[in-house]
C-alpha cells in the first residue's frame, strides 16, 4: 500500500463533524491567494523596529482627534501614512510588473486588510494616502472598514491599490508573512507591540518593539532595494515627526 493510499484510508476513518464548501468568497479568496503565490517570486524580509515614538505620537493625538473630529486614531492609520511616506522616497516599490514592463504608479493607494466575522479577508483601498491628512486617512479607513464588515460596499473600493498594509498585531502575532495583493509588487505585515529590553547608548532600556515583514516580488525589487525601502520605513516609524500628518 502506498503512502497516499494509507493517508486516504486514515482520512476516511476519522469522523468529520462539518463540511465547509469551498465556494463563494472562500473560493474567490483561495484562487486569488494561490494565483498570487504562483505568479510572484515572493521573498520576505523581517525586522523589529522601535515603535515607542509611534506610540507616543498616537497618545498625543488620540484625545484631540476624538474630541475634534470624532475619530479613533489607530496604529494602522499611522502605519499607512508611514508607508505612503516611504513609498514617495522609493517609487519602484509602488509598482506592478506587467508583461515585461515594471510600471511605477503615479498614485500611492494603500490597501488595508480587514478581517470579517466569517473568516473572510478583504482589502479596501485608501486612494492617494500620501496626499491626505491623517484625519482624512483615519476617517476613510474607519468608514471603509464599517462598510466592508456590514457588507455595504461597492466593489470599486477594492480596486486600484498599489501597496498593502496587513496588521495582524491585534491578534497577538509577532510576525506575519503577507501574500502580495496582485497586481502590486509588495505588502507590509505588521506584528504586535511588545515591551522589550534593548540597548540604547550602551544602556539597557525598555522600548516597545514591533515586528514588521516586507513581502516583495523579487522580479521587481532586488534584496538591496527592498532593504533600503524597509530602512526608510523603519526610520519614519522610529521618528514619526517626519510624516506630514496635515494637522
* Distance in Å from the first CA to the final CA of the chain: 70
pLDDT reported for residue 25: 65
Instruction: Provide DSSP, 68-120.
Output: HH-----HHHHHHHHHHHHHHH-GGGSEEEETTEEEE-SS--EEE-EE-TTS-
The H-or-E segment that residue 164 falls in is strand 163-167
Please count the other Cβ atoms lying within 10 Å of the Cβ belonging to residue 188.
26
The pLDDT confidence band at residue 12, using thresholds 50, 70 and 90, is low
Q: Sign of dihedral through CA atoms 86, 91, 92, 97?
A: positive
pLDDT reported for residue 34: 73
Query: Which domains are seen in the chain, by residue range?
Result: 43-242 (3.30.559.10)
Told to judge if 40 belongs to the known catalytic residues of this protein, a careful annotator would answer no
Q: What is the mean pLDDT of residues 25-35?
A: 72
pLDDT reported for residue 128: 97
pLDDT of 11 strictly over 90? no
Q: From the candidates 40, 77, 90, 218, which is the catalytic residue? A: 218
**pTM as predicted:** 0.86
Amino acid at each position: 500500500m502506498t503512502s497516499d493510499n494509507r493517508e486516504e484510508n486514515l482520512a476516511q476513518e476519522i469522523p468529520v463533524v462539518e463540511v465547509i464548501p469551498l465556494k463563494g468568497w472562500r473560493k474567490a479568496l483561495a484562487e486569488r491567494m494561490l494565483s498570487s503565490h504562483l505568479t510572484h517570486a515572493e521573498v520576505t524580509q523581517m525586522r523589529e523596529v522601535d515603535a515607542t515614538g509611534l506610540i507616543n505620537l498616537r497618545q498625543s493625538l488620540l484625545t484631540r482627534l476624538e474630541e475634534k473630529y470624532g475619530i479613533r486614531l489607530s496604529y494602522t492609520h499611522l502605519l499607512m501614512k508611514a508607508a505612503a511616506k516611504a513609498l514617495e522616497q522609493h517609487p519602484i516599490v509602488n509598482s506592478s510588473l506587467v508583461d515585461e514592463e515594471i510600471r511605477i504608479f503615479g498614485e500611492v493607494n494603500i490597501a488595508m486588510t480587514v478581517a470579517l466575522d466569517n473568516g473572510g479577508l478583504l482589502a479596501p483601498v485608501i486612494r492617494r494616502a500620501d496626499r491626505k491628512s491623517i484625519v482624512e486617512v483615519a476617517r476613510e479607513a474607519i468608514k471603509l472598514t464599517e462598510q466592508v464588515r456590514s457588507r455595504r460596499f461597492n466593489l470599486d473600493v477594492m480596486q486600484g491599490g498599489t501597496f498593502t498594509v496587513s496588521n495582524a498585531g491585534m491578534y497577538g502575532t509577532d510576525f506575519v508573512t503577507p501574500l502580495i495583493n496582485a497586481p502590486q509588487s509588495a505588502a507590509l505585515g505588521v506584528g504586535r507591540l511588545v515591551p522589550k529590553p534593548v540597548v540604547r547608548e550602551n544602556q539597557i532600556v525598555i522600548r516597545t518593539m514591533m515586528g514588521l515583514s516586507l513581502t516583495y516580488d523579487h522580479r521587481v525589487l532586488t534584496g538591496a532595494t527592498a532593504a533600503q525601502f524597509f530602512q526608510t520605513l523603519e526610520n519614519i516609524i522610529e521618528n514619526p515627526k517626519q510624516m506630514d500628518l496635515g494637522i
